[in-house]
Amino acid sequence: MQVTITVNETEHTVDVEPRMLLVHLIREELALTGTHIGCDTTSCGACTVLLDGTPVKSCTLFGVQADGRSITTVEGLMDGGALHPIQAAFKEHHALQCGYCTPGMMLVGSALLAEHPDPSDDDVRRAISGNICRCTGYMNIVAAIQAAAKASAGETAGASA
Partner 1 sequence: MATEIEEIRGVGHSVRRVEDDRFIRGRGNYIDDIRLPGMLYMAILRSPWAHATLNGIDTSAAAAVPGVIAVVTGELMAQHNLAWMPTLSGDTQAVLVTDKVRYQGQEVAAVIATDPYIAKDALQLIDVDYEPLDPIVTPQRALETDAPLIRDEKEGQTDNHIYHWENGDKDATDAAFAEADTVVSLDTFYPRCHPAPLETCGCVADVDSATGQATIYMTSQAPHLIRTVFALVAGLPEEKIRVISPDIGGGFGNKVPVYPGYVVATAASLLLGKPVKWIEDRSENLISTGFARDFHMHGEMALKSDGTMLGLRASLLADEGAFHADAQPSKFKVGLFHIVSGSYDLPAVHVSADGAYTNKAPGGVAYRCSFRVTEASYLIERLVQNAAYELDIDPAELRRQNFIQPDQFPYKSATGFEYDSGDYETAMNIALDKIGYADLRAEQQQARADGKLCGVGMASFTEVVGAGPHKDYDIIGVKMNDGSELRIHPTGKAILKISSITQGQGHETTFAQIVASELGIQPEDIKVMHGDTDNTPYGLGTYASRSTPTVGAATAMVSRRVREKAVKLAAHLLEVAEEDIEYEAGRFSVKGAPDRVKTIQEIAFAAYTDFPDGMEAGLEAVFYYDPPNLTFPFGTYAVAVEVDPETGVWEVKRMVAVDDCGVRINPMIVEGQIHGGLTEGYGIAAMELITFDEAGNCIGTNFMDYLLPTAMETPKFELFETVTPSPHHPIGAKGVGESATVGSPAAYVNAVIDALRPLGVTNIDMPLTSAKVWEAIQAAGGSGGS
CA end-to-end span of the chain: 49
CB atoms within 10 A of CB 14: 15
Residue closer to partner 1 by CB (options 31, 159) is 31
Radius of gyration of the chain (CA): 16
Tell me the HSE value of 26 on the side-chain side, using a 13 A CA sphere: 32
Among 6, 111, 125, 151, binds partner 1 (CB under 8 A): 125
Among 48, 58, 72, 140, binds partner 1 (CB under 8 A): 140
> Among candidates 39, 57, 1, which has minimal Cα distance to 26?
57
Residue closer to partner 1 by CB (options 20, 153) is 20
Mark 1-20 with x for binding to partner 1 (rule: CB under 8 A) and - for no binding.
----------------x-xx
Contact footprint for partner 1 (CB under 8 A) = 17, 19-20, 27, 31-41, 43-44, 46, 73-75, 77-78, 83, 87, 90-92, 94, 96-103, 106, 124-126, 128-142
